[in-house]
Chain A
Amino acid sequence: GENVEQHPSTLSVQEGDSAVIKCTYSDSASNYFPWYKQELGKRPQLIIDIRSNVGEKKDQRIAVTLNKTAKHFSLHITETQPEDSAVYFCAALGEGSARQLTFGSGTQLTVLP
């Protein structure tokens, strides 16, 4: 089955700086890669996603890049704000009978004021 690795596990940045979180996946047939933000005690919420036919996608301060050849994708947050502090999860959607999301282990992002 699919295996998703996520790094780093914790990340602290100063307010206004950029943050980058990286994920690798194992199943070359995976074709959908969402990112979720989970604030303390809350549900995971989708913040951005990308499909395998696209290399990059942006939404205001958030961007995701995908390298299918290397089987890795990254989340980029620019101009970070304290409210960006949360746990971020990447995920990959497999194909065939394994059409389930496999999540990375999460990154605790702390934005220091």
Chain B
Amino acid sequence: DTAVSQTPKYLVTQMGNDKSIKCEQNLGHDTMYWYKQDSKKFLKIMFSYNNKELIINETVPNRFSPKSPDKAHLNLHINSLELGDSAVYFCASSQDLGVGAQYFGPGTRLLVL
């Protein structure tokens, strides 16, 4: 069974569109994350979220918003997509916020044209 899964795997869209990426984990973890990996492979935290708090990296534009219907799911909504949003987006989860190992999903490759 896949521990952390994401859909879609690839996403190609036009500038200005709104899109969502879904993430699910079956590890029973309480905390989920979104990371952005740019073309230079640099991994940067965007959000950390559990049922108690949302921590937002201050550099993330407010066009990006996480939405969690339950603790096993954390979706990423992106409004008004820009060329610079093109990247690989990874979801991850851990037992709790600031606790232990994080396990990553397979990534969503977003290309904005």
The residues of A with any CB-CB pair to B shorter than 8 Å are 32, 34, 36, 38, 42-46, 49, 87, 89, 93-95, 97, 99-103, 105-106
Contacts and interface: CB of A to CB of B under 8 A. Distances in A.
A44 B37 CA distance: 11
Contacts of A106: 41-43
Contacts of A100: 33, 45, 48, 55, 57, 98
28 contacts: A34-B101, A42-B106, A43-B104, A43-B105, A43-B107, A44-B43, A44-B104, A45-B104, A46-B101, A46-B102, A49-B101, A87-B41, A89-B43, A93-B98, A97-B55, A99-B48, A99-B55, A99-B97, A99-B98, A100-B33, A100-B48, A100-B55, A100-B57, A100-B98, A102-B45, A103-B42, A103-B43, A106-B41
Nearest to A49: B101
A42 B106 CA distance: 6
* Majority secondary structure of chain A interface residues (helix, strand, loop or mixed): strand
B73 to A, nearest CB: 18
Contacts of A44: 43, 90, 104
Contact-residue size bin, chain B (C-beta under 8 Å from the other chain): 20 to 34
Contacts of A38: 41
A12 to B, nearest CB: 17
Nearest to A102: B45
B44 interface: yes
A16 to B, nearest CB: 27
A87 B97 CA distance: 26
Nearest to B47: A100
